[in-house]
Amino acid sequence: MLIKEAATKLAAKLSAYRLSASWKSHLKQFCGLWGDREVLSLSSDEVNVWSLARRQVVAAQTVAAEQSVLAMLLEEGGGKLDRSRIVPLRINNARLNWLNEQAERTLKQRLPVEDYEMLRFAVLTGLRKVEQFRLRVRDICRATSTISIETSKTGIGSREPICKEALKIALKQCAGKKGSDYLWFAAAKGSRITLGTHFVAERMRTHFDAVIGRHFQWRDLRHTFASRLVQADVSLYVVQKLMRHKTPNMTQRYAHLNDRSKKDALATFKALT
């Protein structure tokens, strides 16, 4: 099977998930590079050379996304991408971007109410995208103001407290739905993460670019949650628990946001001397 034929078949399958512009551009890129070649003729070593060259042009996250699409494309044609022969990309997870209050007010004016409330819920809870878009009605407990997270990055579920505003948004989404229904994209079919990714790519990307910049991603709303807690003088220990970080080192990168604690420490030291 030719790569362009496999791309056509894959696109037909992905169209059920509201195919985003990013998927289309990746497939178009591969057809332009190798469209007339047989799927089985494209080796993992060749893909590795392409990935390293591509990394010199675009961000590591973009190359990683392109590799994922390429892997699906090869599988569609009966091939397989050998990840062991691909040099791992160094993705900078330490990069911190967050949403300031002015930018959030601007987004509130630009976005439909439901889209803004989805964004606001992420800011108020610090949930990862995979966690937020998999929330069901049964996961919301009004009596205790908590949510149940069945799946997470660690693979361990938990029940976490949420603030009143976040609870209000969740209860609004629950209205008229059954316990097994999802809070967002309830009527749509397909993977929650696929739908959530397409929502961000199609409906949010333009607004992020216009208000904040191309560098801003949905995961930065989680950074916003932690950053605002630290700036409000919440201890790093509590922030670690709310963010569900495994180690204090993961939370320590937010420490520089709170200069007041340093000033308070120096004031205390001066008083003692």
pLDDT tens sequence across 224-255 = 999 999 888 888 899 999 998 888 888 888 87
Residue 12: which pLDDT band, with cuts at 50, 70 and 90?
A: confident
Residue 188: which pLDDT band, with cuts at 50, 70 and 90?
A: low
Tens of pLDDT, residues 97-121: 788 899 999 999 999 999 999 999 9
pLDDT given at position 172: 94
Q: Whose structure tokens read 């361990």?
A: 156
Residue 203: which pLDDT band, with cuts at 50, 70 and 90?
A: confident
What is the average pLDDT value for the chain, to the nearest integer?
A: 83
Alpha helix (H) residue ranges in the chain: 3-14, 21-34, 44-55, 60-76, 101-110, 113-125, 129-132, 164-174, 192-199, 205-211, 220-231, 236-243, 248-252, 260-272
pLDDT given at position 41: 92
Tens of pLDDT, residues 128-185: 888 888 899 999 999 999 999 876 666 677 899 999 999 999 999 998 888 778 888 7
Phi and psi angles of residue 28, each rounded to the nearest 5 degrees, phi first? -65, -40
pLDDT above 90 (res 95): no
pLDDT above 70 (res 189): no
Cα–Cα dist 217/37, whole Å: 35
DSSP 3-state of 147: strand
Structure tokens at 219: 């995961």
pLDDT given at position 19: 45
Q: Is there a contact between 6 and 39 (Cβ–Cβ < 8 Å)? A: yes
Residue 64: which pLDDT band, with cuts at 50, 70 and 90?
A: confident
Higher pLDDT, 227 or 215: 227
pLDDT given at position 179: 75
Q: Is there a contact between 2 and 38 (Cβ–Cβ < 8 Å)? A: yes
Encode 205-234: b = buried (16+ Cβ within 10 Å), e = exposed: bebbeebbeeebbbbbbbbbbbbbbbeeee
Higher pLDDT, 79 or 18: 79
Q: Is there a contact between 240 and 226 (Cβ–Cβ < 8 Å)? A: no
Q: Is there a contact between 159 and 150 (Cβ–Cβ < 8 Å)? A: no
Q: Is there a contact between 159 and 145 (Cβ–Cβ < 8 Å)? A: no
Q: Whose structure tokens read 């932690």?
A: 226
pLDDT given at position 125: 95
Structure tokens at 51: 């990935």
Phi and psi angles of residue 34, each rounded to the nearest 5 degrees, phi first? -135, 20
Q: What does the pLDDT average to over 203-229?
A: 85
